[in-house]
Structure 1
Amino acid sequence: MILCAGEALIDMIPNADGAFVPHVGGAVLNTSVALGRLGVPTGLVTGLSSDPFGQLIEAALDASQVSTAHAVRSDRNTTLAFVHLEQGQATYTFYDDNTATRAINSADMPTLPDDTEAVFFGGISLCNPPVADSLLDVALAQSASRVVMADPNIRPSFVSDHDGYRTRLTALMGRADIVKLSDDDIHWVIPGDMDLHDKGRAVLDMGPKLLLLTEGSKGATALCANGTRVFVAAQKAEMVDTVGAGDTFNAGALAALRAAGALTPTALATLDEATLTDMLGLAARAAAVTVSRAGANPPWASELE
């Protein structure tokens, strides 16, 4: 199975009248839901509250075939993210202090099962301690035979200690086999005037075998440490909003690699153009469905057939 480690929260999204309506969300949760709907055995390692929002989250995960067996349960409140939409583009205001997701120490983290093929880390849970440090500890503890993927989904305004965050991300990307970054993300990770692909090579020099570089409506590029590079244009879609699009892209990439028998560190080191093209194609198709409907609502496998 694939385990996703990071936040589960409630997105408060404005309806047509401007009133905020709760929706289950969080970047890492969205990736787990997208994986579950694509038919991949998936679990979520997260802080799960006993409050009504936590119950709503658990029910949504169950409906999308995502296991909560490795959740860290508590009575703390659920994290809330108020979503602000402007021409379909989302920005967020987070309420996260001392919540079920945020207040997780390393000792709280579960032991991962032996059948775990890959562990995905990402989202706002990487921003601030204690959960950020706890997740890094889990990532660094993974054996070299288990794939680690990271998508920081960087939100600088949410970070309390930028130096500490950079140090944490550098360590995580140094362990990761796969890193996904948007064009905005990579400019934050690698400041300066280099072009995107040169910055991509700089990220690969940190240690990953595969970098997925997304550029919104333009498309995405796969850059490999072995020198292979593939670009696939974004799928055309009537955009409603971008909530969950990148998270769905992550799931599509992982699902495609798993289906190709390439979700191992050894296979990732020798990826060819055909496998990369198929991977980016599935990720792009899945993300296109998500942007075509409101909120983070990834497709089921049957919708991509």
Structure 2
Amino acid sequence: MILCCGEALIDMIPVAGPDGQTAFVPHCGGALFNTAIALGRLDVPVGMLSGVSRDRFGVQLADALSENNVQTDMLVRSDRATTLAIVHLVDGHATYAFYDEGSAGRMVRPADVPDIPEAVEALYFGGISLVSEPAADTYAHVCATAGGSRLVMMDPNIRTSFITDEQAYRARLDRMMPHCDIVKVSDEDLAWMTGGSGSIADQAKAVLAKGPKFVIVTKGAEGAMVFSDGGHASVPAGKAVVVDTVGAGDTFNAGVLAGLTQQGALSKEAVATLSAEDLVPALSYGAKVAAVTVSRAGANPPWKNEL
């Protein structure tokens, strides 16, 4: 089983009201939530570790996970409020304003985390859950203590507008890197993490030097590349008529993890034996899955039978 560790929140999606003014409709979201849903729809055994409120929005999130084949017994429930992300769409591209202070997701502490079952073969981290304390340090703790014998993948999915302590955030990512087998970033994330000097290959090498076996870099319509110390490989983006890009990267990540599952490579030991070329089938599957998501509104990943 894959355990997605991080935020589950409510995206307030803008819609045109009957009076011509903008209204906002609550949709389940969050980078880690989206990936968990996508994995569940792809028939990959998956669970979620997250702080989730008992309020109306929290019930909406937990119900959505269950309805999409995601195990919910690792959720940390509380009476704190649910994180809200106000979404603004411009030409199909999303920007976000977050309301997260004191939320159920943000306030998760190491003592709240239940024991991770032996059935969990892989851990997936990322998103805004790695930004704000105490939850960010809690997930870093889980990565360090539970990642030693399990495959670990991380996608920081950097939202610069959400970062209040850049130095602490960069230090946290650096502490997690040695425990990661796969780090996935967009080309923009990679430039932010490394300072943007040199080629993408140079920047990827700088991240590899911090410990991961592979660095996957997505470049939107230009596809994705994977780098290792032994070489690199690339795959094209899936063909699609883009409606919006909400959840595209999250779905891509689910496709990569699902692809590794199909290859029988969902373990730290198996991934350690792979080359960059060996990851091409998993990246291609990720691109295929993401192409469906961008072809329809919102973070709405495909079910396996749609592929």
Fold match by TM threshold 0.5: yes
Distance (Å, rounded) in 1 between the aligned partners of 2:147 and 2:251: 26
Which runs of 5 or more residues in structure 1 are unaligned? none
Q: Which residue of 1 aligns with 2:211?
A: 207
Following superposition, the deviation at residue 144 of structure 1 comes to 2.6
Aligned residues: 303
Following superposition, the deviation at residue 270 of structure 1 comes to 2.3
Q: Which residue of 2 aligns with 1:10?
A: 10
Q: How do 1:170-181 residues align onto structure 2 when only pairs under 5 Å count?
A: 170-181=174-185
Q: Which residue of 1 aligns with 2:250?
A: 247
Is the aligned partner of 1:302 residue 2:301? no
* Counterpart code for 2:293: T
Q: 1:143 to 1:4 in 2, by over 3 A?
A: closer
Q: Are the aligned partners of 2:147 and 2:179 in contact in 1 as well (CA < 8 Å)?
A: no
Q: How do 1:262-301 residues align onto structure 2 when only pairs under 5 Å count?
A: 262-272=265-275, 275-301=278-304
Distance (Å, rounded) in 1 between the aligned partners of 2:264 and 2:124: 17
Q: What is the CA RMSD across the aligned residues, in angstroms? A: 1.1
* Alignment TM-score, normalising by the size of structure 1: 0.97
Q: Which residue of 1 aligns with 2:115?
A: 111
Which runs of 5 or more residues in structure 2 are unaligned? none
Q: 1:4 to 1:74 in 2, by over 3 A?
A: same
* Counterpart code for 2:82: T
Is the aligned partner of 1:216 residue 2:220? yes
* Counterpart code for 1:196: I
Percent of aligned pairs with the same amino acid: 53
Q: How do 1:72-221 residues align onto structure 2 when only pairs under 5 Å count?
A: 72-221=76-225
Following superposition, the deviation at residue 229 of structure 1 comes to 1.4
CA offsets 1:88-107 (integer angstroms, 9 cap, x no match): 00000000000110011111
Q: Are the aligned partners of 2:127 and 2:158 in contact in 1 as well (CA < 8 Å)?
A: yes
115-124 or 261-270, larger mean C-alpha shift: 261-270
Q: What secondary structure, in the 3-state scheme, does the structure 1 residue paired with 2:10 have?
A: strand
Distance (Å, rounded) in 1 between the aligned partners of 2:147 and 2:47: 19
Q: Are the aligned partners of 2:208 and 2:214 in contact in 1 as well (CA < 8 Å)?
A: yes
* Counterpart code for 2:281: D
CA offsets 1:222-241 (integer angstroms, 9 cap, x no match): 1123x131101101111111
Following superposition, the deviation at residue 148 of structure 1 comes to 0.9
* Counterpart code for 2:12: M
List 4+ stretches of structure 1 deviating above 2 A. 272-275
* Alignment TM-score, normalising by the size of structure 2: 0.96
Q: Which residue of 2 aligns with 1:55?
A: 59
Q: 1:188 to 1:143 in 2, by over 3 A?
A: closer
* Counterpart code for 2:296: R
Following superposition, the deviation at residue 274 of structure 1 comes to 5.4
Distance (Å, rounded) in 2 between the aligned partners of 1:204 and 1:105: 29
Distance (Å, rounded) in 2 between the aligned partners of 1:192 and 1:57: 37
